[in-house]
Amino acid sequence: MNQLLIWDFPIRFFHWSLVILMGGLFYTGFTGEMVWHFKLAYVVLTLIFFRIFLGFFGSTYAHFNSFLFNPLEIFTYFKNLFNPQMEKHYLGHNPLGGLSVIVLLSLILAQGISGLFTTDDIASEGVLYSLVSSKTASFFTTFHKTNFNLIIAMVLIHISAIYFYLFYKKENLIKPMITGYKITEENPILKPVKMWVALIFLLISTLLVVIIVNLPILLKLFK
Ligand code: HEM
């Protein structure tokens, strides 16, 4: 048996920071504490950009192409979900898990971007609200509210799936997402991402969000 590092620090940092921040966003969204809602949203956007970098240049199982499977493989995995003899084992995300990760990341990215253009027609406006027409802003506002329900649904499915694996399949996926390690008979060659490279991705992601948030000022300056 080998103890393999599947989820390196950048992925674990991304995941658990996202969980805390999403909790904060749900809370501030409900209570109407919009100053904090916006601040947390900028950090979430930064994290999502960071995750996109890791999806191309991160460690082996962070790569999008390590968990983007073709529809047939996803269907076959789903068909054999309750058939342990036929079920194939995956060290990183399985085909269904991979699909749900892509959906979750896309929904959160769309939520963050749409939030930049929204308005509550009273006191709060997204930082890019002034750049679009009121019709476009109204579209983004409706989208932001609808997409929120989809995120809630996906998070509930995500957490239920994790507990389905824990109690029905007797596979603890939570521990590896905390420690990073999985115990397995397999011995693949793993490519971790260097910490300084991850830090550069994080800095670039932060810079991208700073530019987005200050876009109206920058556009005025360069006009
Ligand atoms: C707001 C709540 C949550 C969000 C938005 C979220 C999002 C995600 C995302 C995006 C991934 C993919 C990780 C990556 O490859 O970058 C993931 C994986 C994972 N999450 Fe969450 N998560 C949430 C809550 C939780 C909670 C509460 C738990 C634990 C009970 C959990 C356990 C896991 C595990 C174990 C994985 C790895 C699954 C696997 O082995 O394929 N998540 N989550």
Residue with the smallest CA separation from ligand 1 atom 1 is 19
Average pLDDT value for residue range 156-175: 97
Does residue 55 surpass a pLDDT of 80? yes
Q: Which domain holds residue 171?
A: 2-221
Residue with the smallest CA separation from ligand 1 atom 6 is 19
Does residue 67 surpass a pLDDT of 90? yes
What CATH number did the domain enclosing 165 receive? 1.20.950.20
Residue with the smallest CA separation from ligand 1 atom 3 is 19
- Enumerate residues lining ligand 1, CB below 6 A: 11, 14-15, 18-19, 22, 51, 62, 93, 97, 101, 104-105, 155, 158-159, 162, 173-174, 177
Does residue 47 surpass a pLDDT of 80? yes
Q: Bridge-partner residues for 104, per DSSP?
A: none
Handedness of CA 97, 172, 61, 110 (dihedral sign): positive
Please state whether beta strands 181-184 and 2-5 pair in parallel, antiparallel, or not at all (unpaired): antiparallel
Does residue 122 surpass a pLDDT of 90? no
Q: Decide if 49 contacts 100 (C-beta within 8 A).
A: no
Residue-level pLDDT at 202: 98
**Alpha carbon distances (Å) from 67 to 90, 104, 131, 133, 206:** 9, 14, 37, 39, 26
Average pLDDT value for residue range 135-149: 97
pLDDT, averaged across the chain = 95
Q: Dig out the tokens for 89 from the structure.
A: 């084992």
Q: pTM for the full model?
A: 0.95
Average pLDDT value for residue range 95-119: 97
Q: Dig out the tokens for 98 from the structure.
A: 């991979």
If you measure from the C-alpha of residue 158 to the centroid of ligand 1, how many angstroms do you get, rounded to a whole number? 7
Check residues 175 and 123 and name the one with the higher pLDDT.
175
Residue with the smallest CA separation from ligand 1 atom 34 is 174
Does residue 104 surpass a pLDDT of 90? yes
- Counting the structural domains of the chain, the total is 1
Does residue 110 surpass a pLDDT of 90? yes
